[in-house]
């Protein structure tokens, strides 16, 4: 499979359509995602090189546009070099939009088809790769959990932490770097129950993404005091280590105690509802405990565990009740997980130690699977695009 880029810098392809100026192997090279039109280095190309994959035999080149944020106000055909746009019209080129976030892929696909169709490009010349699993339900789209491969690549110099049978100081690890109202609801509920003292517990209200209280997919007022408690909770900052907010977002770093000194990882994912798409969005937050031999429960979109099983991972189904993953109502799923955690934590350290021991076979499998080859997954992706 042939990939085309408009230019190269040293030995690396420059992001197609990017306006930001940077040199490879400098800090600025990782800042494309901060600058319009948010086109960034094509990690897919690097993943294929890492795995030694060439893809299926197809003579029509693929023009990869990797994005960190999909801006619906952008006229994408207008940004295309004229020669590339004409090649799309002539059906001599396929444009592949590679999007590593969890926005609704159906909305993006329809938007792209409409824009390119208006300038004479057949829908068959457009593809979408999305980190939202709903992409697999769409024609000319494919799901790839980019953060699994990105975290694996950037964290490769950190040794995977093996399971051990020694007692642990904390019942769980729950870490939140970026404030969102639904995340604050979850962590405030932990706080009001006194659970924050039982685990490695971190919440930073100072880093936010413009989320409003009305965006919360959890119906907070079902619990009379939870809204007020959440507001009180946000007046505090809870730390589980001494790293900075920037370091918390650095995939090269790991705090070993968060994995080897607690029994369970309570994953607070990026989305509790992946843009009402019905898909799941899995990030490094989920793959960190997988790499480091820790069982987990996910506050995330319905179907997250099912998608992990699709990827070949095990989800401790004989030990931790997976029923919550099938509950599509976000508030009900949240309530179910909280009740499940309450039952688990009631057993104290002895109960959690026993739970952890029962998870060991799945932990060993998951770590090995994470560290193993991703050739099959990437070849499947190439066949779909």
Q: Is the pLDDT of residue 374 over 90?
A: yes
Q: Which residues contact 325 (CB under 8 A, 6 or more apart)?
A: 298, 302, 303, 304, 305, 306, 315, 333
Q: Which two tokens stand for residue 375?
A: 């050739």
**pLDDT on residue 247:** 78
CA distances from 345 to 178, 302, 355, 378 (A): 26, 23, 11, 39
Q: Is the pLDDT of residue 364 over 80?
A: yes
CB 355 within 8 A of CB 362: no
Over residues 329-355, the mean pLDDT reads: 98
Over residues 302-316, the mean pLDDT reads: 98
Question: Could you tell me the residue ranges of all domains in the chain?
Answer: 3-144, 156-375
Helix or strand (DSSP H, E) at 182? helix 181-192
142-171 per-position pLDDT tens digit: 999 999 999 999 999 999 999 999 999 999
Q: Is the pLDDT of residue 59 over 90?
A: no
**pLDDT on residue 356:** 98
Give which of 170, 70, 203 is closest to 128, Cα–Cα. 70
Question: What are the backbone angles phi and psi of residue 132, rounded to the nearest 5°?
Answer: -90, 125
* Whether the predicted model's global pTM rises above the 0.85 cut: yes
Provide the angle, in degrees to the nearest 10, between the axes of the packed helices 43-51 and 375-384: 130
Mean pLDDT rounded to a whole number for the chain: 95
Over residues 52-64, the mean pLDDT reads: 86
**pLDDT on residue 173:** 98
239-269 per-position pLDDT tens digit: 988 888 787 778 888 899 999 999 999 999 9
**What percent of the chain shows pLDDT beyond 70?**
100
Q: Is the pLDDT of residue 205 over 80?
A: yes
Confidence of residue 294 (pLDDT cuts 50, 70, 90): very high
**pLDDT on residue 300:** 98
């Amino acid at each position: 499979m042939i990939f085309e880029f408009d230019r190269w810098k040293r030995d690396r392809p420059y992001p197609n359509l990017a306006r930001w100026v940077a040199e490879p192997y400098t800090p600025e090279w990782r800042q494309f995602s901060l600058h319009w039109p948010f086109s960034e280095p094509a990690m897919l190309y690097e993943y294929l090189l890492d795995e030694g994959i060439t893809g299926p035999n197809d003579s029509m080149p693929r023009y990869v546009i990797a994005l960190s944020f999909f801006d619906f106000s952008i006229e994408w055909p207008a940004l295309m070099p004229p020669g590339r746009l004409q090649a799309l019209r002539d059906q001599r080129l396929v444009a592949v939009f590679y999007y590593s976030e969890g926005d609704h892929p159906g909305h993006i696909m329809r938007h792209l088809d409409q824009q390119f169709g208006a300038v004479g490009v057949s829908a068959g010349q457009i593809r979408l790769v999305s980190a939202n699993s709903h992409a697999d339900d769409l024609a000319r789209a494919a799901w790839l959990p980019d953060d699994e491969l990105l975290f694996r690549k950037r964290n490769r110099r950190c040794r995977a932490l093996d399971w051990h049978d020694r007692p642990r100081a904390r019942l769980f690890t729950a870490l939140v770097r970026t404030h969102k109202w639904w995340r604050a609801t979850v962590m405030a509920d932990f706080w009001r129950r006194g659970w924050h003292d039982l685990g490695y517990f971190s919440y930073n209200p100072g880093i936010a993404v413009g989320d409003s209280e009305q965006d919360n997919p959890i119906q907070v007022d079902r619990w009379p005091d939870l809204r007020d408690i959440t507001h009180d909770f946000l007046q505090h900052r809870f730390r589980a280590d001494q790293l900075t907010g920037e370091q918390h977002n650095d995939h090269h770093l790991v705090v070993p105690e968060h994995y080897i000194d607690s029994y369970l990882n309570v994953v607070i994912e990026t989305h509790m509802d992946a843009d009402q798409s019905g898909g799941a969005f899995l990030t490094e937050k989920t793959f960190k405990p997988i790499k480091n031999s820790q069982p987990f429960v996910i506050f995330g979109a319905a179907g997250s565990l099912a998608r992990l099983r699709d990827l070949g991972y095990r989800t401790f189904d004989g030990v931790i009740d997976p029923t919550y993953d099938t509950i599509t109502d976000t508030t009900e799923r949240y309530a179910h997980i909280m009740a499940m955690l309450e039952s688990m934590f009631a057993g104290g350290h002895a109960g959690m130690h026993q739970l952890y021991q029962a998870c060991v076979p799945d932990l060993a499998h998951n770590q090995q699977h994470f560290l193993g080859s991703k050739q099959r997954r990437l070849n499947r992706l190439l066949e779909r695009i």
